[in-house]
Amino acid sequence: MRARSRSPWPVTLWHLALALAFALLFAVVGSGLVRAQEPARRSAAELMDVLMWNREPVGGPFSLTDHSGKPRTEADFRGKMMLVYFGFTYCPDICPTDLVEIGRALDQLGPAGEIIQPVFITIDPERDTAAHLAEYVPLFHPRLIGLTGSHDAIRAAADAYKVFYEKVETGGGDYTVDHSAYVYLLDAEGRYLGFFPPNTPAERMLTIIRSHLPRGKPN
C-alpha cells in the first residue's frame, strides 16, 4: 500500500510566510543599524558649549557654490581674513541684523578692511539658490559672498563650524529654520580665531578685528 503523498501547497505557503517574516525582520534590524550609524545631531546648547570653551577645532574644508554660480572651496579665500555667517534669506530678524553689522564693520575699517572677506552660507539651500542669493547679498555689502549647495554640503560646512540648525514646519507647507547665529572670524590662513555672538554691534567687532589685522594696515 502506497503512502499518500502530501500536497505541496501547505509547504509552499509556509515557506512563503517564513520568508516574508525574515524579510520584515531584516528590514527592521537593518533600518535600526542605519539609524545607529548616523551621528546624533547635537543640540544648540551642546554646540554653544563647544564654542564657548573651545573644546573642538572649528572650521574646515567646504565645497559650495557662490551667488554667481561659481564653485567655491575654502582654499579660494586663502590670503584673506574671513567673517563667516550661517543663516537664511527668509530669516525675519537676526540674520539681516547681523549682516548689517558685518557691513558696517567693513565700512568703518575703510581700505584696511579689504583684506577681510565676508561670507554668508545659507542653511536653507532649498529656497536659497544662487540666483536668489545674488539678489540678497548686495543688500548688505558689495563684497559679501553668498554660498549655497546641496543639503549634504551645507550640513558638512555647518558641522565643521559647530552650527546648529533644523527645519521647523510652520503649517500650510511653509517652514522656518531654527539656527545658531554666530559670526566666525578666521585669519588669512583659514585658522579659526573666535566668534561674535548674535547682535554684536560693528564697534564691538572692530575691537577684536583690528587686533588681528596684519601690521601696516591699522585703522
pLDDT for res 90: 97
pLDDT for res 41: 84
Question: Is there a single domain that holds both residue 94 and residue 144?
Answer: yes
Q: Give the number of other Cβ atoms within 10 Å of residue 180's Cβ.
A: 22
pLDDT for res 33: 41
pLDDT for res 43: 85
2 falls within a domain = no
Whole-model pTM: value is 0.80
* Residue 86: its H or E element: strand 81-87
The answer to whether the beta carbons of residues 117 and 72 sit under 8 Å apart is no
Question: Is there a single domain that holds both residue 22 and residue 54?
Answer: no
pLDDT for res 194: 95
Residue 80's SS3 state is coil
The answer to whether the beta carbons of residues 60 and 74 sit under 8 Å apart is yes
DSSP 110: G
Question: Is there a single domain that holds both residue 107 and residue 169?
Answer: yes
Question: Is there a single domain that holds both residue 20 and residue 83?
Answer: no
- Give the number of domains in the chain: 2
CA 176, CA 188: separation in Å to the nearest integer? 34
Question: Is there a single domain that holds both residue 25 and residue 59?
Answer: no
Q: Determine the structural domain holding residue 12 and report its residue range.
A: 8-38
CA 168, CA 175: separation in Å to the nearest integer? 5
Secondary structure (H, E, C), 173-202: CEEEEEECCCEEEECCCCCEEEEECCCCCH
Question: Is there a single domain that holds both residue 18 and residue 88?
Answer: no
159 falls within a domain = yes
The angle formed by the CA atoms of residues 67, 73 and 79, to the nearest 5 degrees, is: 100
pLDDT in tens, the chain (219 residues): 444 444 444 445 444 444 444 444 444 444 344 334 446 788 888 887 778 777 888 999 999 999 999 999 999 999 999 999 999 999 999 999 999 999 999 999 999 999 999 999 999 999 999 999 999 999 999 999 999 999 999 999 999 999 999 999 999 999 999 999 999 999 999 999 999 999 999 999 999 999 999 875 555
CATH code of 137's domain: 3.40.30.10
pLDDT for res 45: 84
Paired strand residues for 177: 167
pLDDT for res 219: 57
